[in-house]
Every structure is written in C-alpha cells, then in structure tokens.
Structure 1
C-alpha cells in the first residue's frame, strides 16, 4: 500500500507519525529495547507529554538472524494465527557500543541503533559492510481517516491516531545502488521484483496476473541478506515503487515484526530462513517419475483410465503415478471422498491393478464440502465447518452448491477429515492432490478464535499440514507426498507444490517458470507445473516443448483441463519425445538424489534461479528463462515455435549433455533445437552420476551407474569429492567418489570397493578395479 503523495507529502486520506528521534536504548534479557519519539526532545521534559512513541525491540532467534519488533500501542489482543518458527531461545548475542550508538550482534550480523538524542536510525551490517537500514520517515504509523485533514502536517496527535478508522504500521529498508530483490513466493511477473507492488494475499486466480496461490512475505537481495516479515495477514510490499531506493512493507494494526537474515551468499540466506521456517522432508523415489492425470473436465471412467495406462506401457513410456482428478467424485458432491459408482465399479480392485503394474495412485481432494452431500450434514452436526457470527455454517456457491469449509483449527474436525482420507488409503490410494485452500473467507468465526483476516493465508498451512501429517502417520516418514496448489510460510514442509492453472501457450509456459523460480527463491525446494498447460489445447508443437521442460523440473505431471495430455492425442512424435525425456530423467535419478538431500538438509532448492547459483555474475541477475537443476545442470527450455533459444552460460567450458557440443563462457548463445534436444548444459568440472538404462524409480541408485566427468581440465589439482546416495530415503547410504586429474588421465576412487560402476570422459570408458578407475582425457 502506498502512503505517500510524492516525496514530501502524505497521501490524501491518511495522517502519519514517524520515529524521528532515539529517546532511550536499554538492554533487556533477550536483547535491546529502544524508545523512539515522533517529536524532537532536546532537554525539554514538556516535549515528552503525549506521543506517539515507538517501541523497537531487537533480539536473535538464531545465529545470523536479528528479530525486530516495532510497536505503536503495545499489548493489543493477538488471537493468531502465527507462523510456526524454530526459534532458539538461547541463541547467543552480544551488546556493544561504538561512538555513542548501541548495537546487537548475532554471529556476523549486527543491528546498530543511533544514540539517544540523535535522529532515529537502525542499520544492519555484516562482514564490515552496511546491508540495509531504516531512518527518519522509515518506521511510521498511518491513520486512515474519513475526513479531510491538513496535508502539510508532519506528524499527528495521539487523539488523531486513536480516532482513525484504521491504523497501519509501515517500515522502509534501504536499497543500495544496483541492488536486486527476489522472492515473495510464487510470482508470475518479472523475476526481479524492483519497481513492483507485491501483496500478500492468496487467491484462486491462475498464473497470468499479480494474484498468486502461494504468498511468502520473504525476500533476499544480491547484496547478501534477506528479510522475513512475520505476519500471516495481508502484508503489502512496495519494492522500490513508492520510494525508489527502499523496500517498504506495511500491515494493519499497531505492531510490525520482521527478521533480517545474514548471508553472505543467497544460499546462506535460504539455509537460515528454512532453518527458521522449516525444510522440505525427504520424498520417495517414485515421486520423481512421470505423473499422468485424467485431466479435469474430461469424461472418464474405468475404460478411459485403462486405455491411458496401457497406452503408455505399449509405447514404452515409463509411468510412475496415475492421478484421478475431480470427476472420480460424483457431480455436486465435491469433496465427500465417495467414488462415482456409475463410472468406477471397483475402485479397490482397479487400484490393486495399478499397483500390480508398478504405479502409485493419487486422487484429487479439496477442503470444501458441497451441501448436497450427506457428508455436509455430518460436518454441520459435528461442528467441523467454519461458522458465521450467529453460529451457522459459512456457505457459498462459488465452487459447489452451498459449500462449506472445513475448520482445521478444530482438532476434532482435523481428526474427522483424516478419517475420510483413511478410507481411501485403505483402498490403496497412495497420495493426494490437495487442491484449493486459497479462498478462506474473512467474515467468519474459527473454532480457536483466530483472526479471520490472518487466517485467510494461513488456512492453507493447516489444510496441507493435516493431510501430510496423516499420510506420514499412515505410511511412514519419507513416503508421504502431496501435490498441493496453495501455500504460505512453512508450506515447503508439505511438498510437492505445482504452479496452478496456466494457459496452453508459450507465454504461459514462461510465466509458469517465473512463478516456479520465484517460489524456489522463497524457501521451497520442489516444484511442478501442468505439462502442456491447463487451459486450452497446446497442439503438438507446444506439447513437445513443454514435455522437455516438464521432465527437467523437479517433479513432472501431464495435466490439462478440457483436453487430455496423453502424447498420442497429439502425434506419434510426441510419444517419442515423452519417452526420450522421461527416460532421461530416470537416468538422472542418482544426480537428483543428491540434489534432494540439499533440499531437505540445507534448504537449498533442487531447481535454482541463475541469480541464486551465480550471485556474483551480473548477467545472471535478471535471467528467468533458464535455471540450474541441482549444482551442475543448466536448463534453458525452448519458448518459441521455431526452436530458437537464446541462453547464457557463465564462465568456463560448458557441455551440452544431449549433443556433446561445448560452449566457452561467459557468453550469450543462440541456437536452434529440434524436439529431441534443448540447451541442457553441464557445468565445467562436473561429475554427473547416471544410470543410462533405467526404466523405473526402484532399486539402488548407484549400482551399475556411470560417473560422467565433464571438462575435466576444470578440476582443481587436488580433485573433487562427490557424495552420492544409494536412494532417496533420509537414511540412504552415501558413497564418496574422489575424482582428480593426473596428467592426461582422470582417476576416480570409490569409498565402497564392492560397488559396480563405470567412469567416463566423453566416449572413453574406464575400467573399475577394487573401487578405482581411470580413463584418458
């Protein structure tokens, strides 16, 4: 929200007061407590009568993180909800003084407050450099008024603040010269957020606007720090848009809380942020294979599904998961968890047949209940639905007739909801697509008394958490998987998330990637999208290009709306392309397993923006049509019908994994690619473990693997140690390979001498003896 009218004046309709002078700074048990007055106090005690006065509290929840709480009126009732954070109550900190100013230090991060009597300022420093900070007219309280007022006033009286119709707390943190801002969750517009207004409000709105399914009030910059605003409600950001040199954030109320997170590298910021808000768990190997759905509004029954599954098998296209979308349910009965018996005669038997064919089964669900279903009456009688103030259930015709929403703040409602999921699991269902969750109303009453405005975004956390934890309880740790659309802070703990409803066009494919890269910049590690696009018919050309992109994403699902996404519905070449890239992804499972470990143990995403992987390369700062898949693979999808791609490679000799051609960077490259290829470039000195004949996701990921060494001259003299995993499970054994150059030879040594493997440099293959191998460069 914008509060200013140009640089000097306050926007009409608001009155304002700002923290102008530091009045006092004192140490408290958990850090520092600062009083900042809105007026100047220079020895005149009469100037201390009235206010406003701001209380600023500094503490540390973890090493390298500083928490800032800014309050106007303290002690206001807070009914929640609150993001669930991993706070170390005993995190060490230091208080220091310099030149009259006082600071709090946590690790290498410092927050320094100006001396009492000076103009108020708060600066954040790390590594001897100032990262960002605020000063006079940064921290402020704004009263939204319904009457005219004097726009030339520089501050307001306390009576005016309390008499305002609404109050907002606002903060502004400085941006440096050439500083770029990234993050804020799933955003489909420009990847660099400078110049944008970013609203934290989940919405069921598709992928082609500034509305999103996944809002995350967190950003990081290329200057080596991040900022997390700890409010689940509708935080509004002005990113160099209201004041060009500042990031502004504001929310309703009298209190504003944010965390400054140190780097120095962007990955370090994400490590600290995800340690605070939670990390993605390990996922089972089958989740990384190809998912096929029935599509959304297409008519389908047992015969349709069997035709899809058998058609993939007959064309030698490995399939891992089959997903039943909405119409497994009876019309007007969504979502009461009952199969449509007219279309599906023996769900238990059919699911068993899918399992016999090596498939996992996913079914679509949402947290809403149609009043047509008998289950609605059960929910009303049990008190399991969100209520209006008069106690009656909230209802809308938005999605289903007389639809109610499950109240996940009610423990009994959560248990009841999971009991319905349990019946599906008893039938053999393996996972759930947790659709929707973005439309929680704001004029309702929750079981636990939560503020309904704050619950609007937080509802999805409770919804996905409920389903994920129940799956984990039933199936065991490391086996639970969701395919979720909506999210907020902490939602990365309940993967996988997909990008939502996009059009079938090249532009929509690019905007989907921007949304995914923005989400991966915000603490999420896994991401998928609707291959072929959701709305419309992609046609053979776009379908094949989207298949390439989709099978080089962390998770891969064929899905559409009114048209199916089986490849033979387009042309036979589509089958060839899908087969090639599905098998390519399966061959890369050993490589992806290492990347998945980084997601779960470090909070570093498997699919990475170039700015995250190459933060010191100026050319990488704006790139949003290419990305890194893990440490070493650069992917540049084809976004044009003529097959032309313009992409950038950083420094060194990069090798196209599919063609063997090399490019020496830093360099922009333009090339044309057929449907069987695209820029899949390997980093210089990379060691990629593959299993070239793999057709499923089962078994040991390293036995009979090939270690491919690319541009071995880029290996340091001491070589490099590559840690690989024999599976995707959390406790999967790790194996170390040490790879080095010795003259014109590359040598590799394996820590497990019993393992069967091959060493390769280009076409040359090395012979393994007692865990050692060598090959001529």
Structure 2
C-alpha cells in the first residue's frame, strides 16, 4: 500500500494544474489504528515521547510517482483526477466510460493560480518557502498542500470549507488514521474529514435511513432480492454533504463508502480501481447542485402523458384473455388505467431468457392483442431482460455472431448473482459491441410497430467479474456500467422507432441512469417494513439520479398483502412520480374487497385530477434535472430537521406527501414534520404552519397531503367517464390558488405548448389556446 506524501512539481494544465506526487509505502498498524511509513518519525507527526510507544516494523520507502490534475469545468465545479503515472484515465476524455456526457457544461471559467507561503515548506525542489498551491474561480477555491499532501475545497462566496482530506485525524501516538489518499492492489482510498454537524446523503437507491452517517455502503449493482437485504439495485457514486457540495466519482468500479462507520469523523471512499476521478460541485442549494450534475450526466425527457397514469401488472398474467378481462373489469369499476403490463409469460422460453419470440398460443396475434387493449383505452408494457437461454435459437445466433459477453477465456460469460430454475448457464448480450446493440434493438422493432408502448427492462445486474467486453472497457468497470448501457440501448430503440420521448421501466442502474426514465424500486416485501424501505430508497435515489422513479404498489412478494396495507400503498403510489401496482399475486383493487376498491378508486382518480400539476413538475425535471419525488431538504436546505426526514416527501415543490405506514383497519395517529411556511391539507382544508411537527388522526380513507402556500395548483375533474389519459386532452383545467395573490405565471399544456396565465381576482386570463376554465378556486390562509 502506498501513502501519497508530497507534491514535487506543479505545472499548468487546461483549466487548472497538473501535479507530480511522490508516494511511499506504508503499513496499517497491527492491533491499533493508524498508518506508518519508513520516513523519520518526526516527519510523520508521531509522538516519539509517548512512554508506551511500541517498536514497530518500518517498511521500505520504495517511492512511486502519481499524477494529480485539478481542473475547473465551471465556476462551481472542479474535477480532481488522481492516478499512477501512465494510468489509462490520464489519456481519456471525461466521457470515456459513458457516464459523463458533457465534461464542460458551460463556458470555461477564469482560473487563477497562486503559490502561498503558510509555514515551513517541505524538502522537495523549490518548496522551501511555499506550502500550498491555490486555485480559485469566482465561486470555488482549491488548496493543495504540498507537504504533507492534502486537499481542501472552499466556497469563496460563503467562506465555508466544503471538504478537506483527513490529514488532521490522528490517534494518541500521532499516527494518522485517515491519510488523504492510500493506493494499492485493493484500490484507491480517499479519506475526507467530516465536520461536527456534517450530514451525508445520497449514494443511489439505498433502503436504509436517508442520512448515511454511521453506515458502510458497498456500491455494486446487485439483484438485491428485496429491499431489506442491504444490497442495492441502483447504487450511484454520488452524494451530498450538508457543508454545501455534491461529490461524484466518475467510475464503473465498485465503491465502498464508509460514512463515519469505522472512524466517526471520516468519510472514507474506496474505489476498486487504480485511479480517482472525482467531481466536486459546490453550492448551498442542493437543487443547483443537481442541475450542475445532470448537465454533466444527462437528464430525462418528459415521457408521454399516459406514462403518468395508472399502471397495472401481475407476475404473471398467463394469457390475452386474462389481461382483457382485467382491462374490462377496470372499466366496469370505473377505475382509470393507462397501462397493462405482461411479465415473461409472453415468451415461449421464459425462465431468465428473453429472445423476443412471441407466445402465440397464450397471447395470439400480437398486433391484434395490442389493438384490443387500445380499444379499451389501454397500452401494453412488455417485460424483458438481457439474458439468453441456450434453449433459445437466439442464443446460437448471438454466439455465432459474437454478440455475447465473453469471459477472460474467450467463452460466453454466464449470468451471476441470480439463481436459475434449471441450472443452465444464461448468456448476456454485449452492449459494448455496436453490432450487438443494433441486433438487440432490431428485435424490439416489430413489437413497437405493433403498438407496444413500453418495455420493462428487468434485471441487468448479472454481469460476472473478469469479463472481456468487446470495446475494451476494463473488466472492473464493466459490471456496474452494464445496466446503464442496457437501458440506453432499449431507450434509444424506442425513440428511434416511435419518434416520441422513450420510456422504460428499469430495475438496475448506475450513475447517469436518470437520463433513461423510468426506474422502479425493485422487489419490495409486501409488509409495512417493505413500504417504509421503499420510500427511503426513492428519496436516496432522488439525490443521486434525479428523475422518474417509482415502486410496486403493494410490494412484490412476502406475506399475503392485507387490504389495509394495499390501500395505504395505493395512496403512496397515487402521489408518486409514476404509479404502478404489481406483485407475485393479484394487485387489482377489486381483489381486496369492496372497501379497498372504493378507497383505491378514489385515490387513483385523485392522481388523474392532479395530472396537470405532475405535468408541470415533469417539465422541471427535464429542464433542470430535479426529481419529481423530493426529500424535504431539497426545497428546504436550511431546515435542520428536514435534512433527516425520510418518512415523507415532496412531490414537486408544493405537495407534501405523508405516507401512512400501517396495515390495520383502524384510524392511525400520524406525526410528521411541516417545513417553513403555511400549508393546507389538500383533502380537508386543515391548516398547518411550519416549521414544526404536526399530528393528524387519519382513517383508512385518508393520507395527509399538504399544499404549500403560494402554490398555483392546476387540476381537472375526473368522473366515471374517464377511462385513461386519452379522455383528458380536451377537459378544462381548474386553477386552485393556495394563499397566493394575483399575478402571472407560465404553464405547459398536455400538448407541450407553453402559455402564460394571469389571475385577476377570481378570473383566469390566458393568451391563445389554453386548458383552463375561467374561474379560480382560492384556498386562503385565513381558512
């Protein structure tokens, strides 16, 4: 293991500087915390006067050279690249792994560089009077301490230190416990010092508490087998610090994030790679940070309106007749619905295989089946995964053409991590091979031509280690990048074939996955705990891959779902970015009794009433890179309580959603945090003023949904005649104002056309074609 010790040279580099760094061997002390090099004890800061200092083995220095590049991409974003001399990353563009799309995201900033004398220098050439090299823009400052090597990043506007490496953290004998950078065969470790009140959030779809302090997270894409196993379908090496920055590791390698778990004051980031490619985006506003980050890695387009409607699925519908019956029963019960989903029974060979061979015995002619659903106002969602069974003729075709991922031995690699029902080794499509991508995309073409609306891009977590991707992607990057490339291929196929914004329903993901909407939270257990962890996963994911995320209403597996928990989960789903019910057993609302049907129908209709609002928020996501589902701290970053709230959320900027985590029939006393300002309960009109805690007793038919003062909430009327979003295009919207004065605001219609709306008294006035009815409904604070 090597400890990066000193900067020996600094030279100009585009947008910043490049530094030569001398590293020396080190050992981790046996039986006590700390690290030791072969340098003189005084140079290491060791307390040699300690009376019980043991005699320790001294490693050889064996110096090694590293390169550090510090370059500003914008006024508030800096890229710090650190690698051994000659490492591949030093010769690559930022987008070489396919995560970063735009490495500049704006005009190049003016970067000023200075050498600063702050104390005795080191022993290297030209360092006697200089201890630091400082780079700064109008917004950020980076301090590079030359000896001992250290890094600090500051916000020049606020004067705050955003982050600093952990060189100050030592044990009683003076041995460093968190050296800034350690490098070795097991990877590269970056140690950052955590401030006294610093909170860390993010790291993708993690199902534990939103604030990650005290947790140790292994960021490796896994078939997590639920939401309570400690694994993650969509980990993302992106995090936020309450000190005012977003960190992003541009890597496909496994990352271990130790957030004050081993050392209470250390954020330790271990990358299973020889290099660190770290981006720091500084801003007090987490929304601004997400905008900058998604400018780098891409944003989701607004999906079609029908995607925001109600989706219904089951594992499994076994035939066209069964699905048509579900569609007809939806209409009989006057439950609006836009999408029916079919899981793998549409295939002939359907166990961990997708070869796009339609099962006509079960589902008949595909085009006729899709047309029949459309006559009912429904669209079809079709399941897929990127694995091929040797029993399928497509397997032999793909193998012969070289379209399968190969192992180091040159033979097709086998899916790992997910058990197969018969033991046959499934192969994986190689999405680094352009010809394989085209072949896979072409397999979707006839389905899209027949009217299939969306593909559920399931799995994608099974690429084994030690593969040899066709494009030369290093094997240790390939596993986590596989779902990004898989979803990109399918999303691009949909866009190219249909000419509309594409939509998938993906389970696995990595950094950048937000640009391929949407994703869902995997296989949650049908319990209160499963519902609770699902919300946490969505909030955590929103901070790292902001876009269109959702979940399976009712959970996917586990104990038989109670009618009451089904209702509570439906309420949550109705106020989620996307709304889909799905599970191993029936999830149709009439399967849970008349009372559950009545309540669920009411909440599904409420969702359709709120579609004009959701449509506006979706435009924000596309334009600014903000999630639809938002942790409270995203809108209230200065609220010390909001930062740790993970049992409620904001849908867009103005709706506070308070899920009820309960599976019983009786009323529930729900306590929740209300942020700053005035809020009105959407359903009861009850007023709340924050910041502070509130309590409501809610029967099964209710869930607290609060509207923020200042909200202009567009809604429309939904009655028994509304079957799907197809019936909403010509319906007038009604504008509800909450504690708001007259004024002018911009909206976007369902056709994508923007228009200005002016409110004067109780009248709405707008230019040109617009969907608003003529009068305003006011919900004033004095109510």
- TM-score between the two structures when normalised by the length of structure 1: 0.86
Offset at residue 533 of structure 1 (A) = 0.7
The answer to whether 1:105 aligns with 2:105 is no
Report the secondary structure of 1:327's partner residue: helix
Matched, 1:711 2:697: no
Distance (Å, rounded) in 2 between the aligned partners of 1:488 and 1:236? 14
Judge conservation of contact 1:594–1:725 (CA < 8 Å) in 2: yes
1:190 to 185, 189, 209: 209
Aligned to 1:769: none
Summarize the Cα distance change of 1:522–1:118 in structure 2 as closer, same or farther, 3 Å threshold. Answer: closer
Q: Secondary structure at the match of 1:385?
A: coil
How big is the shift at 1:442? Answer: 0.9
For residue 754 of structure 1, report the CA deviation from its aligned partner: 7.0
- TM-fit CA distance, 1:196: 1.0
Per the alignment, residue 157 of structure 2 pairs with 127
2:336 — aligned with what? 318
> For residues 452 and 28 of structure 1, do their structure 2 counterparts lie closer, same or farther at Cα, with a shift above 3 Å needed?
closer
Question: Is 1:662 aligned to residue 648 of structure 2?
Answer: no
1:87: which partner in 2? 103
C-alpha contact 1:517 1:609 (8 A) present in aligned 2: yes
Shift of 1:352: 0.6
Sort the Cα spacing of 1:472 and 1:614 in 2 relative to 1 into closer, same or farther, 3 A: same
Counterpart selection for 2:228 from 205, 208, 228 = 208
Cα distance between partner residues in 2 of 1:677 and 1:442: 48
- Superposition CA RMSD, Å: 3.0
Q: Deviations over 1:47-94 (max 9, x none)?
A: x99623443210022341100011234335899745233112962231
Please state if 1:30 is matched with 2:15. Answer: yes
Paired residue secondary structure (1:621): helix
The alpha-carbon deviation at position 111 of structure 1 amounts to: 1.1
* Pairing 1:245-256 to 2, within 5 Å after superposition: 245-256=265-276
Name 1:71's counterpart in structure 2: 83
Greater CA deviation, 74-83 or 395-404? Answer: 74-83
CA distance change for structure 1 residues 332 and 94 in 2, over 3 Å: closer, same or farther?
A: closer
1:112-261, aligned counterparts within 5 Å?
A: 112-114=143-145, 116=146, 120-135=150-165, 137=167, 166-205=185-224, 206-261=226-281
Residues 125, 118 of structure 1: CA spacing in aligned structure 2 closer, same or farther, 3 A cutoff?
farther
Q: How does 1:236-635 map to 2 (within 5 A)?
A: 236-293=256-313, 295-296=314-315, 298=316, 300-332=318-350, 334-395=353-414, 398-399=419-420, 401-478=424-501, 480-536=502-558, 537-561=560-584, 563-635=585-657
Aligned with 1:104: secondary structure?
A: strand
3-state DSSP of counterpart to 1:586: helix
Corresponding residue number in structure 1 for 2:69: 57
1:189-208 deviation digits (Å, cap 9, x = unpaired): 11101111111100001211
Structure 1 pair 30–762 and aligned structure 2 pair: CA distance change class (3 A): closer
Provide Cα deviations, 1:123-182, integer angstroms capped at 9, x if missing partner.
33331423333346499xxxxxxxxxxx99989xxxxx99x7x24221122222211111
Superposed, 1:700-739 pairs within 5 Å as 704-712=732-740, 715=741, 721-727=744-750, 732-739=752-759
Q: By how many angstroms is 1:122 displaced?
A: 3.2
**Distance between the aligned counterparts of 1:264 and 1:529, measured in 2?**
30
Q: Larger deviation: 81-90 or 452-461?
A: 81-90
Q: Please state whether the residue corresponding to 1:601 is helix, strand or coil.
A: helix
Distance 1:720 1:522, change over 3 A: farther
**SS of corresponding position for 1:376:** helix
Please say which of residues 603-612 and 117-126 is displaced more in the overlay: 117-126
2:4 is aligned to 18
Shift of 1:228: 0.5
Provide the rounded CA distance (Å) in 2 between the counterparts of 1:153 and 1:174.
Answer: 16
Aligned-partner SS, 2:735: strand
SS at match of 2:725: coil
Query: Using the alignment, how far apart are the partners of 2:613 and 2:729 within structure 1?
Result: 9
Q: Is the 8 A contact 1:73 1:254 kept in 2?
A: no
Seen in structure 2, the aligned counterparts of structure 1 residues 549 and 49 have a Cα distance that, compared at 3 Å, is closer
Counterpart CA distance in 1 for 2:112 and 2:272 is 32
Cα shift at 1:739? 4.6
Separation of aligned partners in 1, 2:71 and 2:312: 49
CA deviations on 1:565-612 (whole Å, 9 max, x unpaired) are: 111111012221222111111111111111011100100111100111
Report the CA distance shift for 1:697/1:107 in structure 2 as closer, same or farther (over 3 A). farther
Instruction: Check conservation: 1:746, 1:776, Cα contact below 8 A.
Output: no
CA distance in 2, matches of 1:639, 1:754: 39
Rounded to whole Å, the distance in 1 between the matches of 2:627 and 2:698 is 28
Aligned residue pairs: how many? Answer: 714
TM-score, normalised with respect to structure 2: 0.85
Structure 2 residue runs without a partner (length 5+)? 25-38, 44-59, 118-131
Going from structure 1 to structure 2, the CA distance change for 1:22 and 1:747 (only over 3 Å counts) comes to farther
Is this contact kept in 1: 2:503–2:518, CA < 8 A? Answer: yes
Q: Deviations over 1:8-30 (max 9, x none)?
A: xxxxxxx44233x4433332233
Query: 2 CA distance for matches of 1:340 and 1:547?
Result: 32
After superposition, the Cα gap between the structure-2 partners of 1:424 and 1:692, relative to the gap in structure 1 and judged at 3 Å, is: same
Contact 2:188–2:275 at 8 Å: present in 1 too?
yes
Distance in 2 (alpha carbons) for counterparts of 1:362 and 1:644: 38
State the alpha-carbon separation in 2 of the partners of residues 669 and 152 from structure 1. Answer: 49
The unaligned stretches of length 5 or more in structure 1 are 1-14, 140-150, 156-160, 765-774
Distance 1:432 1:240 in 2: 40
* Counterpart secondary structure, 1:343: helix
TM-aligned CA deviation for residue 753 of structure 1? 8.3
Q: How far apart, in 2, do the equivalents of 1:702 and 1:592 lie?
A: 17
Correspondence for 1:158: none
Q: Distance in 2 between matches of 1:17 and 1:221?
A: 26
| C-alpha contact 2:743 2:759 (8 A) present in aligned 1 | yes
- Residues 60, 708 of structure 1: alpha-carbon distance in 2 compared, 3 angstrom cutoff: same
Distance in 2 (CA, whole Å) between partners of 1:290 and 1:567 is 12
Once the two structures are TM-superposed, the CA of residue 755 in structure 1 deviates from its matched residue by: 5.9
SS at match of 1:553: coil
Q: CA deviation at 1:484?
A: 0.6
Inter-partner Cα distance in structure 2 for 1:99 and 1:388 = 51
Given that 1:481 and 1:496 are in contact with CA atoms closer than 8 Å, whether structure 2 keeps it comes out as yes
Q: Secondary structure at the match of 2:87?
A: coil
